[in-house]
Amino acid sequence: MALRDELSSHYDLAPSPELAEEMRDIYARMERVVSPPDWAIHAPYVAAINRLKKQRNAVILAHNYMTPQIYHGIADFVGDSLQLAVKATEVEADVIVQCGVHFMAETSKILNPSKTVLIPDMEAGCSLAESVTAADIDKMRRQYPGAPVVTYVNTTAAVKAASDICCTSSNAAQIVAAMDSDTVIMTPDQYLAQNVAKQVPEKRVVWWEGSCIVHEQYTPEDLRGFRDENPGTRIIAHPECTPAVVAEADFSGSTSGIIDYVTREQPEQAMLVTECSMASNISDQLPGVEFLGPCNMCPYMKKITLEKVLWSLHSMTGAVEVEPTVADQARVAVERMIDLSRRLAV
Ligand code: 13P
Ligand code: SF4
C-alpha cells in the first residue's frame, strides 16, 4: 500500500479549506510563498504531525533548508548545523525527529544518545558526507604528520571519530585559527577550506577534495551577470561556494549568518547564493526584501516531506543508530567544537 493510503487509514488527510482557515496563524508565516490551494493540501498533515508529536513526546529539529511547510508548520526549533547540534544536547523529550539530512540526525544521536532520533528518509544524504571515509582521514594524517584534522560536521560519525575537532560554516575560521599548529587539515569541503584559508592567512590549510553539489554549481560569471542586470541587489553566498563566488558576494556566512545579515541590513533586493528554500522561509518575516535569483535545490534535503515525517512518527521507523565506540569518539570531536565555539563566543 502506498504511504499516503496507509496514512489516510489512520488520519484525515483530505485537502480541507476549512482546516486551512482554522490554521491561519501558521499559514500567515508562509503565505507569500505557499498558495492557498497548496496550503489546503498541507494543513491536514501539519495538524496530524503536531498532534502526534505531543502523543509521542517528540520534538522536531529542522534545518534552514527545509520547505516552508516543515520550517513554519511543524518545527519546534530551526537553525543552522551548529545551532541544531547545540539544541540536540538540550532536548529532554523522548524523541527527536530530524528534519534535515542523515549526518545531522547522527550528530543529534551522538550528542544525546539516550533519545530516539528519527530521520524521515534514510536516503537523505549529503555529497560532502559521501566524499570522505575514516581511512581517507588517516591518509591525510600520514601526508601531513602532526597536523590537526578539522572536520566539517557534514560527515559520517566514523569520519568525525577519526578527526580531532569538528567545525561548521559558522565557526570554521575561528576553529582553524585556534589550532596549535602551523598546518591544519580541513575535510571534506575543499571550498570551505579555501575560503577559511583566506580568512586565516597565518595557517597553512590543506584540504580534502569534497564539494557540495548545490553550492559548487554557482559561478562568479553567474553572479557578475546577475549584478549587471539587477544593480543594487545584495548578493550573499554560503562558504561552501568556491572562493571566486564568495569574492563576488557582498557577504558570506552560514545559513543562520545569512538570515541574520538580511534581517539586519534589510536590502530592497537580495540574492541568496545557497539552497532555494532559505529565501522562501524568511520572506514572510522580511516583507520589504525582494528575493531574486536562481533556485538551486538540495536533492537530499528535499527528500524530507510532511508525508514522510508523519510516517516516521506514526510508525516510529527511521531510528538512527551509531555504534557506541564510534559515537564516543565522534562525541569528543563535536563537543570540542561546541566548547571552543562557546569560549570564542562564535
Ligand atoms: P549551515 O546551515 O551550517 O550553514 O550548513 C549548510 C549546509 O549545507 C548543511 O547541509
Ligand atoms: Fe550536503 Fe550541499 Fe545538500 Fe548541504 S546543501 S546537505 S552540503 S549536498
* Ligand 2 atom with minimal separation from the 240 CA: 7
Which CATH code is given to the segment(s) 215-291?
3.40.50.10800
Q: Is the CB of 303 under 6 A from ligand 2?
A: no
Is the pLDDT confidence value at 18 over 90? Answer: yes
Can you say whether residue 257 is alpha, beta or left, with left for phi > 0 and alpha for psi between -120 and 50 degrees?
alpha
* Ligand 2 atom with minimal separation from the 129 CA: 1
The pLDDT assigned to 1 comes to 61
Note the pLDDT tens digit of each residue in 276-318: 999 999 999 999 999 999 899 999 999 999 999 999 999 999 9
Closest C-alpha to ligand 2, atom 3: 298
- Domain boundaries 2-125+301-315, CATH class: alpha beta
Q: For the purposes of burial, counting CB atoms within 10 Å of the CB of 345, is it exposed (0-12), middle (13-18) or buried (19 or more)?
A: exposed
Relative to the alpha carbon of 170, which ligand is closest?
1
Cis peptide before 113 (omega within 30 of 0): no
Mean predicted lDDT score pLDDT of the chain: 97
- Tell me the CA–centroid distance for residue 104 and ligand 1, in Å: 10
The pLDDT assigned to 88 comes to 98
Question: HSE of 127 in the Cβ direction (CA atoms, 13 Å)?
Answer: 14
Note the pLDDT tens digit of each residue in 143-188: 999 999 999 999 999 999 999 999 999 999 999 999 999 999 999 9
Note the pLDDT tens digit of each residue in 257-270: 999 999 999 999 99
CA pair distance 277, 283, nearest whole angstrom? 10
Domain regions of the chain by residue span:
2-125+301-315, 129-212, 215-291
Closest C-alpha to ligand 1, atom 10: 154
The pLDDT assigned to 163 comes to 98
The pLDDT assigned to 186 comes to 98
Q: Is the CB of 279 under 6 A from ligand 2?
A: no
The pLDDT assigned to 346 comes to 79
The pLDDT assigned to 89 comes to 98
- Tell me the CA–centroid distance for residue 333 and ligand 1, in Å: 18
The pLDDT assigned to 65 comes to 98
Choose one of 80, 174, 282 to mutate for the ligand 1 pocket test, by most ligand atoms within 8 angstroms of C-beta: 80
Its pTM stands at 0.97
* CATH 3.40.50.10800 describes domain 129-212: yes
- Confidence band for 31, pLDDT divided at 50, 70 and 90: very high
Measuring from each residue's beta carbon to the nearest atom of ligand 1, which residues come in under 6 Å? 64, 80-81, 126, 154, 168-170, 212, 240, 254-255
